[in-house]
Structure 1
Amino acid sequence: MMKGIRRQIVLQYFILVLLALLLIESIFLVAMQKYYYDSIYNYIESNSKNVIRYYNSSFIDSSNESSFISNLMYYLKLENTSLEILDTEGRVLALSSGFESDRVVQTSDVPQALKGSTGRWIGKDVITGESVMAVSTKIDYGNDNVYIARYVTSMERVNDALVDILVWSGLIVVGVLVLVFTISIGLANSIVRPINIITAASAEMAKGRFDVRIEGDYKYEIGELSSTLNYMAEEIVRSNQVKDDFISSISHELRTPLTSIKGWNETLESGGYDPEETKMGLKIISKETNRLIGLVEELLDFSKLQQNEMKMVKGTVSVREVLQEIMLNVWAKAEQKQIKLRLTADEEDYLILGDGNRLKQVFLNVIDNAIKFSHMNTWIDITIKREQDQVVVIVQDTGIGISEEHLERVKDRFYQVDHQHGGTGLGLAISQQLIELHGGTLQMESELGNGTTVTVKLPALTQEEHFESDIDPEVV
């Protein structure tokens, strides 16, 4: 028993073809019947008109009615067709069969003939009961000599032929339907079989077995679906790996400062240290505490961005001032590696509409990364310029660079190129989303061993926005 989609495909395909075949057969049978009937009618009509035309040109004496009717019967007779001569009332005056008849013909072909056209009637003969066609033609010789020549021919042989055609066409329809049924089952199986395979694989994936893959080279939408599910499984495996790496990394990042804090706390509690050592211990505790706070805040920011709960207070922001402030903040860290920061900009302020603190967070992350991955005694160039209606910030270093493989994923959440440098792997992911919230873009170009270039583009502030932001900062 076929179920589900397979049965629906077979049933609908079968019904569609059946209806189409029935329509075609009906049209064919009607056309064949019309062809046969019209052929018989046209033959009788053409013959009778030709004979009557010839008869009119002859000099046959029509004063004697009996002789006149006999001549009509002689000239108008047709093989395998019965001829009747009727008067205007429809009474039968003569029959080609030789039997006398005083009956009155009341079929529709007689009135049609009296009106001047060639009448045709198809029906059952009142005497024999067989199917016949009657074709009537008016014969008018003047002096009130009006007669009707009525040909009656049996349609039984024609109808038998039509029945044979119906039987044969019916057998052809049955054969076509059997073929269609067989093909539709194969078609349904070709669709349902891969769906069943995909369903089974999806069920395994739902149980957590993401190593399962859909095998087979399927075409069209089925192929796209299987490729999508395989890609989804690969992405889940990769995401799980990234998650595991993140958990391992963040555990290490949290454990290191906590160990330092706990160790110095226990040391200070034991007492007996001079003021300098105590001061150094408290300084380390403060530094590691700030480090913990930074990690937690980064996680909280990412959570807010994921849930669209990040609030920003937008106002007029000078990009130049933000970058100068960041350079002061990271100066000590850069000095440790003897790295020089170089800012290149025109005299203008490069104003944008944005949240100054969030933009500072973005550029601090970008510049801090540049310092972290740069070599000793190198330069980091920071360039500000305007491109049409955008403010463009370019941060370029000559550090270790990023390979093409890692560059494609470096902005993914939790992803870290080098776990040894620490961090949560969220910095660039957060920066990307914050820039997008400002209507801008963040792009990275890098070559392994030759440094990295980060380009941030933000919409420049218009005069109308400048005026409005000075009056009332916008909270979004």
Structure 2
Amino acid sequence: MSVSVPLKVNNVIEGVARFTVSLNAIDTTIFKIALGLILAGIFILLITISISLRFAESLTQPLRELKEFANELAHGNYNIKLKNNKIRNDEIGDLAQTFEHMAGEIDKTRRLKEEFISSISHELRTPLTSIKGWSETLGYENISKDELDLGLGIIQDETERLIKLVEELLDFSRLSSDRIRLQIDMVDIEALTKGVVNQLKVKAIENNINLSASFEVQEIINIQGDKNRLRQVLINLVQNAIKFTPPDGYIEIIVSQNEEFTTIKVKDTGSGIKEENLEKVLEKFFQEDFHKSGSGLGLAISNEIVKLHGGKINIESKKDVGTTITFTLKNKILESI
């Protein structure tokens, strides 16, 4: 590189001063810097690509796991578990846990339905077998009066049992499709309670169980509600108590009331419910003991009916000590609809 400066004398150029220097060293330095920047850029690009691939793998691997999991669910395998070491604690991890929880709930519901179908099949077969057997027996010519009365009584009892089972299945169908509607009227809770006690007292006496009702306030005012549905709830709770209460036990219906709510307790000295099952007994199909008769729908249906009346059911129980089921009802349901 050269730099030239004119030499002037009396404003006349007499010559030129020139300074020349070699740029080889500068070119070498610039080349080294450029090469270094290029190499650094390539290195940074490789690191970026590597990080991107690892990040993409961290996203795609859980998604592939979820895809395989979903495919297994689609083929009916609800016992599959996710490989938790491949699932991170992030949004995808939350989605994976939701998938696993969903599979567990589906599997639980499937098993409950299978047990329910098995129980219902047994519940249908037993009374039908009795009805068929006794109807054939009653056709004999030499049957005695006592045998005739016994057979007709058994046929009547088993028929009522079948009717109750069919009604529960119909109510379950209506609840599932949200088609239960209340026929609101004024309900005399005191008369309804005494009527249920009188209706089921014979059954309680047959099992050597003391069934009674008490009222904690002197005057129980009429409330708004569906009389038939409320009777259904109370009958269902008392029948359950009779079923699980041993001889020499007692069942007491306790009614109390304030300005806003009416509270009814059904207290028994029955076999009780295990603590881990207290939250499950109101679920559809659930039965703590599938060897006992029943569809597993009664409490679930009762719970929905009580909810429609603006109330709730609470269960307190201790195994081999007894159970207290309390349900509340709004006195003026039409004002809350």
Residue type of the alignment partner of 2:63: I
Give 1:365's match in structure 2, choosing from 214, 231, 236.
236
- 2:332 corresponds to which residue? 461
Tell me by how many angstroms 1:383 deviates: 2.1
Q: For 1:317-352, what per-residue CA distance to the aligned partner results, in whole angstroms no more than 9, with x for missing partners? A: 232222221111111111122323232331232433
Tell me by how many angstroms 1:300 deviates: 0.6
- 1:193 corresponds to which residue? 61
- 2:226 corresponds to which residue? 355
Tell me by how many angstroms 1:441 deviates: 0.8
Q: Distance in 2 between matches of 1:246 and 1:326?
A: 28
- 1:228 corresponds to which residue? 98
- 1:214 corresponds to which residue? 82
- 2:312 corresponds to which residue? 441
Mapped pair 1:407 → 2:278: yes
Residue type of the alignment partner of 1:415: F
Out of 423-432 and 265-274, give the one that drifted further: 265-274
Give 1:313's match in structure 2, choosing from 155, 164, 183.
183
Tell me by how many angstroms 1:253 deviates: 1.1
Matched-pair contact (CA < 8 Å) for 1:326–1:364: yes
Q: Distance in 2 between matches of 1:97 and 1:439?
A: 108
Residue type of the alignment partner of 1:448: K
- 2:262 corresponds to which residue? 391
Matched-pair contact (CA < 8 Å) for 1:340–1:377: no
- 1:332 corresponds to which residue? 202
- 1:256 corresponds to which residue? 126
Tell me by how many angstroms 1:283 deviates: 2.5
Mapped pair 1:425 → 2:296: yes
Q: Distance in 2 between matches of 1:223 and 1:316?
A: 53
Q: Distance in 1 between matches of 2:82 and 2:187?
A: 52
Change (3 A) 1:162 1:316: farther
Matched-pair contact (CA < 8 Å) for 2:272–2:321: yes
Matched-pair contact (CA < 8 Å) for 1:321–1:349: no
Tell me by how many angstroms 1:166 deviates: 8.2
Give 2:174's match in structure 1, choosing from 275, 292, 304.
304
- 1:292 corresponds to which residue? 162
Q: Normalized against structure 2, the TM-score is what?
A: 0.84
Residue type of the alignment partner of 2:52: S
Tell me by how many angstroms 1:178 deviates: 2.7
Change (3 A) 1:99 1:322: farther
Secondary structure at 1:269 match in 2: coil
Matched-pair contact (CA < 8 Å) for 1:342–1:379: no
Residue type of the alignment partner of 2:90: Y
Q: Distance in 2 between matches of 1:372 and 1:176?
A: 77
Secondary structure at 1:421 match in 2: coil
Q: Normalized against structure 1, the TM-score is what?
A: 0.60
Secondary structure at 2:212 match in 1: strand
Tell me by how many angstroms 1:209 deviates: 1.7
Tell me by how many angstroms 1:174 deviates: 4.6
Matched-pair contact (CA < 8 Å) for 2:197–2:213: no
Unaligned runs of at least 5 residues, structure 1: 1-79, 83-95, 103-160, 467-475
Q: For 1:292-323, what per-residue CA distance to the aligned partner results, in whole angstroms no more than 9, with x for missing partners? A: 11111110110011011112211222322222
Q: For 1:353-398, what per-residue CA distance to the aligned partner results, in whole angstroms no more than 9, with x for missing partners? A: 2211111111111122122212322332322223562222222222
Give 2:140's match in structure 1, choosing from 264, 270, 274.
270
Q: Distance in 2 between matches of 1:230 and 1:301?
A: 32
Change (3 A) 1:364 1:175: same
Tell me by how many angstroms 1:169 deviates: 5.8
Percent identity between matched residues is 37
Q: Distance in 1 between matches of 2:149 and 2:51?
A: 88
Q: Distance in 2 between matches of 1:356 and 1:81?
A: 114
Equivalenced residue count is 317
Q: Distance in 2 between matches of 1:399 and 1:243?
A: 27
Q: Distance in 2 between matches of 1:324 and 1:165?
A: 101
- 1:416 corresponds to which residue? 287
Matched-pair contact (CA < 8 Å) for 1:339–1:371: no
Change (3 A) 1:168 1:298: same
Tell me by how many angstroms 1:97 deviates: 3.9
Matched-pair contact (CA < 8 Å) for 1:197–1:214: yes
Q: Distance in 1 between matches of 2:263 and 2:53?
A: 62
Tell me by how many angstroms 1:171 deviates: 5.6
Matched-pair contact (CA < 8 Å) for 2:112–2:286: yes
Secondary structure at 1:186 match in 2: helix
Larger Rg: 1
Unaligned runs of at least 5 residues, structure 2: 12-28
RMSD: 3.0
Change (3 A) 1:81 1:341: farther
- 2:114 corresponds to which residue? 244
